[in-house]
Structure 1
Amino acid sequence: MKRGLHQVHSKILTRSKKQGGLSITDLEKWNRAAVVGLVYRLVAKEDSLWVRFMWKHNIKNKDFWDMKVPQDCSWAWRKILQNREDAAKVLRSSIGDGNSVSFWHDVWASSTPLANLVSVQQRSSSGIGEKEKVCNFIVNGNWDLSLVSLPQYVKDLVAQVPISTRARPDKLISIVNPSGNYSVKSTYEAMQ
């Protein structure tokens, strides 16, 4: 082989060494993982000036996971909203008391809000209001969907979600990190 520079496909460069690559960080994926971190901070409503500003000026009374990308928003806000799909793959609301998780509009039972899994007609005939919280369907530490009309696949998704046995608030967790804490590294690795 001649000495000098040789072109190598970027997929080979970013593969792990175990897979025959060079383990060079894919900056596009790393950036997406970092933006998911911003989504985490917003949804978890971390106590920071930036989070309070974003909720007051950009989110207001909308449902974060369902809101449309405004035409007149900043580039940074557009990127955050465009990365919600990546975020929904790695973040979930862990159910504690159920008081802060929206039944329809938060990511807690699957990688998308339940509102996206059923038609508008099914939602309106379900007996579950648009602003209903998960706590309204927990009785004695168990799920109770007996009084609502939902497709069986939605009931099955809900039934699989564990409810905390200790009285604690709901918490946003990373499902790709064993500790449940968000980290850019574990999100990046999950995107590989």
Structure 2
Amino acid sequence: GMGFRELPLFNLALLAKQGWRLMTQPSSLCSKLMKAKYYPTISFLHAPLGRAPSYSWHSIHSSRKVLASGLRWRIGGGNSVNVWHDPWIPENLAFRPSSPAPPGTADMKVKDLIQSDHSGWNSSVIRRIFSPSDVQHILAIPLSRNAYPDRLIWHHTRHGEYTTKTGYQLLKGIAELSQPTPSVTNPNLTLFWHFLWKQQLPTRIITFVWRLGKNILPLKENLARRHICPDYVFEVCGIDTETWFHAFVSCPFSRAVWRLEGIVV
């Protein structure tokens, strides 16, 4: 069989198929009706639920998060894609740049990173704006000299078309990532967790420490293991796998931060 064990996730993946059809078959009768009623001036991905939605629209609308997690732009001319806000870099987490946007570039389009004759990427501009990791990933994106229109594709299939199976696998991976990893009960560790939760600290800090201890932070090592992230490299330094130990202890940048606090690790 196809291995669908979690029925709610499977149902959501099926609904995402309907959402995909609304996006990719705009001339169909169903797409025209839905767009006219619920999102006449915007795209399906940005459509609000609206007042008194029908059961069908409410169900399909709930699937947008599935599509948003796996959609990215295939670059043609780069005219339709915002550099900082749209997903377009295949090798990056969430398909977006990890580099901060320099002042005055919020509206920059991907076309601004391409040579005017569309012979390739403008590497000098890219190297000036992005981190080395982003530069490597951007320059690896193939371009066509014909400057075809940019197109939204489903990242998790070779043909770029959404499938219920890959949508389900993505949802299952995300669900597993949010679950604590099983571990052998350690009395001392149990006492530590009790001690931690009793401390007068902001909840977000306690929760962060707990998730770090359980190794369920959304680090690339965990994401890649569940097929959510395509690579393992820690983008801050670009030299090693993004594990909790490297990100917080062994990375040269992390060590520098600890030293600023007078802590030697």
Q: Smaller-chain TM-score range?
A: 0.5 to 0.7
Query: Corresponding residue for 2:230?
Result: none
Instruction: Tell me which moved more, 92-101 or 57-66.
Output: 57-66
Task: Indicate if the aligned counterparts of 1:43 and 1:172 stay in contact, CA closer than 8 A.
Answer: no
Cα deviation digits, residues 56-80 of structure 1 (max 9, x gap): 3322223543444323322332333
Query: Quick one: structure 1 residues 78 and 105, their matched pair in 2 at CA, closer, same or farther if it must change by over 3 Å?
Result: farther
AA in 2 matched with 1:162 = I
CA distance in 2, matches of 1:44, 1:161: 27
Query: Quick one: structure 1 residues 104 and 27, their matched pair in 2 at CA, closer, same or farther if it must change by over 3 Å?
Result: same
Query: Corresponding residue for 2:30?
Result: 50
The percent identity for this pair of structures is 24
Task: Indicate if the aligned counterparts of 1:36 and 1:86 stay in contact, CA closer than 8 A.
Answer: yes
AA in 2 matched with 1:43 = M
- Quote how far apart the aligned CAs of 1:33 are: 1.0
Cα deviation digits, residues 44-102 of structure 1 (max 9, x gap): 35432222333333222235434443233223323333322221222222111223445
CA distance in 1, matches of 2:99, 2:57: 28
Structure richer in helix, relative to its length:
2
Instruction: Work out which of the residue numbers 160, 165, 170 in structure 2 matches 1:180.
Output: 160
Query: Quick one: structure 1 residues 92 and 76, their matched pair in 2 at CA, closer, same or farther if it must change by over 3 Å?
Result: same
Query: Corresponding residue for 2:63?
Result: 83
Task: Indicate if the aligned counterparts of 1:126 and 1:150 stay in contact, CA closer than 8 A.
Answer: no
AA in 1 matched with 2:143 = S
Instruction: Work out which of the residue numbers 141, 145, 163 in structure 2 matches 1:162.
Output: 141
Cα deviation digits, residues 164-189 of structure 1 (max 9, x gap): 32522222222222232221122223
CA distance in 1, matches of 2:18, 2:145: 28
TM-score (norm 1): 0.60
- Quote how far apart the aligned CAs of 1:136 are: 4.1
- Quote how far apart the aligned CAs of 1:113 are: 8.8
Task: Indicate if the aligned counterparts of 2:80 and 2:109 stay in contact, CA closer than 8 A.
Answer: yes
Query: Corresponding residue for 1:69?
Result: 49
CA distance in 1, matches of 2:136, 2:57: 31
Instruction: Tell me which moved more, 64-73 or 27-36.
Output: 64-73
1:39 aligns with 2:19: yes
CA distance in 2, matches of 1:80, 1:151: 37
Give the unaligned 5+ runs of structure 2. Answer: 173-265
CA distance in 1, matches of 2:4, 2:74: 34
Task: Indicate if the aligned counterparts of 1:35 and 1:80 stay in contact, CA closer than 8 A.
Answer: yes
Give the unaligned 5+ runs of structure 1. Answer: 1-13, 17-22
Q: Give the number of aligned pairs.
A: 165
Task: Indicate if the aligned counterparts of 1:88 and 1:107 stay in contact, CA closer than 8 A.
Answer: no
Query: Corresponding residue for 1:98?
Result: 78
CA distance in 1, matches of 2:138, 2:4: 41
Task: Indicate if the aligned counterparts of 1:92 and 1:107 stay in contact, CA closer than 8 A.
Answer: yes
Query: Quick one: structure 1 residues 53 and 118, their matched pair in 2 at CA, closer, same or farther if it must change by over 3 Å?
Result: farther
Secondary structure in 1 matching 2:45: coil
TM-score (norm 2): 0.46
Task: Indicate if the aligned counterparts of 2:39 and 2:48 stay in contact, CA closer than 8 A.
Answer: no
AA in 2 matched with 1:135 = K
AA in 1 matched with 2:71 = L
Task: Indicate if the aligned counterparts of 1:104 and 1:113 stay in contact, CA closer than 8 A.
Answer: no
Task: Indicate if the aligned counterparts of 2:74 and 2:152 stay in contact, CA closer than 8 A.
Answer: yes
Task: Indicate if the aligned counterparts of 1:174 and 1:182 stay in contact, CA closer than 8 A.
Answer: yes
Cα deviation digits, residues 2-22 of structure 1 (max 9, x gap): xxxxxxxxxxxx9x9xxxxxx
